[in-house]
Amino acid sequence: MWMRWRTRSRYEARNAYRCTKVNEFERDLDEGDDTRLPWLSENEFLQKYRIGRAALHSIAELIKDHRVFKRGRRGRKQAKVVHQLMAFLKYVSSEGSGAVGMELRNVFKIGYGTTKLYRDRVVKALCSLKEKVITWPDQSERLAISNTIEYLFGIPNCIGIIDGTLLPLFREPQTHDAPDYHGRKYPYSLSVPIICDSNRLIRII
C-alpha cells in the first residue's frame, strides 16, 4: 500500500526543470544561409565532433530505426537521434574531465542522466551495425585492393594495412588476468589492432 502511494504521488511535488531556449544541438547543426554565417563552420564542427555534418547525418540515418530509439508506452518523447549521436560523439572525442557528465551538461544544456542515456542508446545502435559495416573483403574485392596498393605503393599481394591503438581503462580490471592488461603507456589498457584497406575503410578490428 505504501509503495502504491509513493508511485502515485512521486510526481505531485516535482521540482521545476532547468531549461534554456537555446537548443545547442540545432545551433551546431545549422549551416547558415545567404544572409548569415553558421554558428560553427564546417572545420569548427569537425573539430568539436570529429566528424562532418554530412557524415553525421549519414550515420544517424543508419541507426534511426533501432529499437532503442522507439518510444515506449510511457515517458517523454525522445530527442532526435542525430542529437543523441552528437552527445555520444562529443563524449568519445573528449579526454579526462571533458568526457564527464558535468562537462557534457554544460556543453549541451541537458541533464547528467540524459547524457548517459544518449550514450548508451547510441552504443547499442552502433554495435548492431558491426556485421554490416565492418566486413572482410571477398575474393574479387581483395584483388581490387591488392592492385590499388601495388599501384600506389609498389607493395604486391597486400590487401590491408594494420596498425594498433591503446584504449586506457578507468581502473584495474576485476578479473584474475588483470596483469595482462598492464600496458607500457597506461596503468591498464586494451590493445586494439585495426586493419584498413586502400580506401582507409576498417575491414577488421
Q: Is the pLDDT of residue 4 over 70?
A: no
Average pLDDT (103-108) is 78
Question: What local confidence, expressed as pLDDT, does residue 96 receive?
Answer: 62
Q: Is the pLDDT of residue 1 over 60?
A: no
Which cell numbers in the block locate residue 135? Answer: 566486413
Q: How many Cα atoms are found within 13 Å in the side-chain-facing hemisphere of 182?
A: 5
- Partnered with residue 167 across adjacent β-strands are 190
SS3 79: coil
pTM: 0.73
Question: What local confidence, expressed as pLDDT, does residue 158 receive?
Answer: 96
Question: What local confidence, expressed as pLDDT, does residue 17 receive?
Answer: 59
**C-alpha closest to that of 178 among 190, 166, 167:** 190
Query: How, if at all, do strands 189-196 and 161-168 pair?
Result: antiparallel
DSSP string for residues in 132-189: HHS----HHHHHHHHHHHHHHH--TT---EEEEEEEE-SS--SSTTGGGG--SSSSSE
Name the band, by pLDDT with cuts 50, 70 and 90, for residue 33: confident
Q: Where are the domains of the chain?
A: 16-130, 134-204
Q: How far apart are CA 111 and CA 135, in angstroms?
A: 37
Q: How far apart are CA 183 and CA 189, in angstroms?
A: 6
Which residue in the block uniquely carries the three cell numbers 565492418? Answer: 134
pLDDT tens figures, 146-181: 999 999 999 999 999 999 988 888 888 999 999 999
Average pLDDT (183-191) is 86
Residue 111 backbone phi and psi in degrees, to 5:
-70, 160
SS3 191: strand
DSSP string for residues in 9-55: HTTTTPPPPP--S--HHHHHH----SSS--SS-HHHHHHHHSS-HHH
